[in-house]
Amino acid sequence: MRKRSQQGHQTAILCTDYSCAAAPMASAMFARWSQENFFKYAREHYDLDRLADYRTEAISEPLQVVNPDYRTLDGQGRSTTGKLNRRLAQFAAMTLEAPIEPKHVEPFIRRKAALQEEIQACRANAMRSRPSARPRPTTSRSTNCPRRRAFASSAPTASSSSIPSR
């Protein structure tokens, strides 16, 4: 199949799939060319092959980093607060849709009371798990981290200077 542009440029597409219609086959080929051009550009200008490198080297100077213990405790506190907020929203959304009769009101009050107890337990748990309630430093030097949590950076390569800065 050949396509000639208005400027006279001609593009030819060769394919061995004779059963496929020309239009879908041409659009698939152009989409593939677009992807190939993108990766060629990324490889040349952003050193794409270097980004897939798994080598690391130790960071030489100590850095201020988030304390890993604080990060864990902070995550637990945020999780507990999220659970509390969801239960509070559920409590606020609970309404009695049925007529006000003892057979409808009593189960509703039991459900609402059970949810109120969950909310009180969540509040107590949230107060205990707050980072401000625990005496831990929020940051520490990277040299103070346990070995299993040591930080490393990607190893530089000879072509790392070709990466443009943003």
pLDDT at 93 over 80: yes
pLDDT at 164 over 60: no
pLDDT of residue 136: 61
Residue 70's domain spans which residues?
Answer: 64-154
> Domain tally for the chain?
1
Express each pLDDT in 108-145 by its tens digit.
899 999 999 999 998 888 887 765 655 566 666 655 55
Amino acid at 36: E
Average pLDDT, the chain: 77
In a domain, 143, yes or no: yes
pLDDT of residue 149: 53
In a domain, 75, yes or no: yes
In a domain, 100, yes or no: yes
In a domain, 6, yes or no: no
User: Can you tell me the distance from the alpha carbon of 151 to that of 56, in angstroms, rounded to the nearest whole number?
Assistant: 10
Amino acid at 81: T
In a domain, 12, yes or no: no
In a domain, 145, yes or no: yes
In a domain, 34, yes or no: no
User: Can you tell me the distance from the alpha carbon of 94 to that of 134, in angstroms, rounded to the nearest whole number?
Assistant: 35
- 99-111: average pLDDT: 87
Give the ranges where 3-100 is alpha helix by DSSP (H): 22-45, 48-51, 68-93
In a domain, 4, yes or no: no
